[in-house]
């Protein structure tokens, strides 16, 4: 049962957050700076300066890797001049003309260690964000660009670090330029806006948590980047608050006529006397339309979706920042992370006796 009064009681929030999860999420900007500094000290720019890859391979391992890979692919888009391959391990054809990017927070990931070793033996350029000890680091030693974490955080708070590592590679390859200083600054500002001291009516993360409380979220992206962020949002809502969400790009959501009709009925605020148990299996729905990209096509998509779903919430970080798609996407991802933590703390699924720590498999 959600205790929404806890959200505006900073002392009780601090007592409930025994693991320091809110502080960990608020260090997203610091993670960007630390990863950038590590890359500069390692000489990543010199190693990748003249590289023109045949393919960019994004290796996904359990954790945030798949979400980061989807976001990177969406940011690059179909016009990317280099084929982007997403795989659980290095494909058999990888060679000296390819660039491999991988991330893990599990230093004992044997599959990734074998993948790094295989890619290195075949001469590929590799950038790896991973712990500095264990089989993965050993496989990378002297043969890959290894960026270990410089800020000690609980497991599961490495989305921004993995994304920063990938953005560094994209920038050096000339595929996507991102102002990492601006990214860090905007994440700091988002963390400040979402600080536990700020009350719900001025705190966007708490406000989002309250909008999602006791609802089934429909996270529908109005562009491919927003849909990728929606996937991360759903993962963090499930992992931190036990909230199950539907994720789709809006065009795909239109192919689900029954769910779309229920979203129109249940997502509207117009009918104040609607039965709260209406909806599939009694679930109340909350439609969140996510938008990252800008331009005429994006504006048309927003207008169309808002007209068809007038009760939906629109999350559009570009109205708050002007740092490009990667910055807007990272900011939106952080807002979902903070909202999920607030939901989890208020519902008792995080903190104190309700805290759950996954065991290693």
Domain map (residue ranges) of the chain:
23-181, 198-353
* Mean of per-residue pLDDT scores for the chain: 91
Count CB-CB contacts under 10 A for residue 361. 5
Distance CA(333)–CA(74), nearest Å, equals 14
Two structure tokens written together for 249: 């790009």
Domains 23-181 and 198-353 share a fold: yes
Residue 168 has pLDDT above 50, yes or no: yes
More confident residue, 4 or 227: 227
Of 236-240, 267-271, 293-297, highest mean pLDDT: 236-240
Percent of the chain with pLDDT over 90: 82
Nearest 5°: CA angle at 269, between 266 and 271? 80
Which residue from 22, 9, 105, 11 is spatially nearest to 344, judged by alpha carbons? 22
DSSP three-state, residue 315: strand
Check whether domain 23-181 has CATH 1.10.10.10, yes or no: no
Residue 60 has pLDDT above 50, yes or no: yes
Residue 270 has pLDDT above 90, yes or no: no
Question: Any idea which architecture 198-353 has in CATH?
Answer: 3-Layer(aba) Sandwich (3.40)
């Amino acid at each position: 049962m959600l205790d929404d009064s806890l959200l505006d009681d900073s002392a009780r929030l601090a007592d409930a957050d025994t693991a320091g999860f809110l502080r960990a999420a608020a260090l997203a900007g610091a993670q960007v700076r630390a990863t950038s500094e590590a890359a500069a000290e390692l000489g990543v720019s010199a190693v990748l300066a003249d590289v023109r890859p045949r393919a960019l391979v994004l290796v996904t391992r359990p954790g945030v890797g798949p979400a980061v890979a989807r976001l990177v692919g969406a940011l690059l888009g179909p016009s990317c001049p280099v084929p982007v391959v997403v795989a659980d391990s290095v494909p058999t054809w990888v060679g000296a003309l390819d660039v491999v990017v991988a991330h893990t927070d599990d230093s004992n990931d044997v599959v990734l260690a074998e993948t790094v070793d295989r890619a290195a033996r075949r001469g590929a350029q590799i950038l790896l964000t991973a712990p500095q000890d264990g089989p993965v680091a050993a496989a990378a030693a002297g043969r890959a660009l290894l960026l270990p974490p410089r800020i000690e955080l609980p497991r599961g708070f490495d989305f921004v670090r993995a994304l920063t590592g990938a953005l560094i590679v994209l920038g050096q390859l000339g595929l996507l330029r991102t102002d990492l200083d601006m990214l860090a600054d905007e994440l700091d500002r988002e963390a400040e806006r979402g600080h536990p001291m700020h009350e719900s009516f001025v705190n966007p993360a708490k406000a989002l948590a309250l909008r999602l409380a006791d609802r089934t979220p429909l996270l529908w992206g109005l562009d491919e980047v927003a849909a990728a962020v929606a996937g991360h949002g759903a993962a963090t809502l499930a992992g931190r608050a036990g909230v199950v969400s539907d994720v789709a790009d809006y065009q795909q959501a239109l192919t689900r006529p029954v769910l779309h009709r229920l979203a129109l009925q249940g997502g509207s605020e117009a009918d104040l006397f609607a039965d709260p148990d209406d909806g599939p299996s009694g679930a109340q729905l909350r439609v969140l339309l996510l938008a990252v990209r800008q331009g005429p096509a994006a504006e048309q998509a927003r207008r169309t979706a808002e007209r068809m779903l007038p009760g939906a919430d629109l999350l559009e970080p570009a109205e708050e920042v002007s740092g490009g798609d990667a910055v807007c996407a990272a900011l939106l991802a952080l807002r979902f992370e903070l909202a999920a933590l607030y939901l989890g703390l208020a519902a008792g699924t995080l903190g104190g006796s309700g805290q759950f720590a996954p065991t290693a498999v």
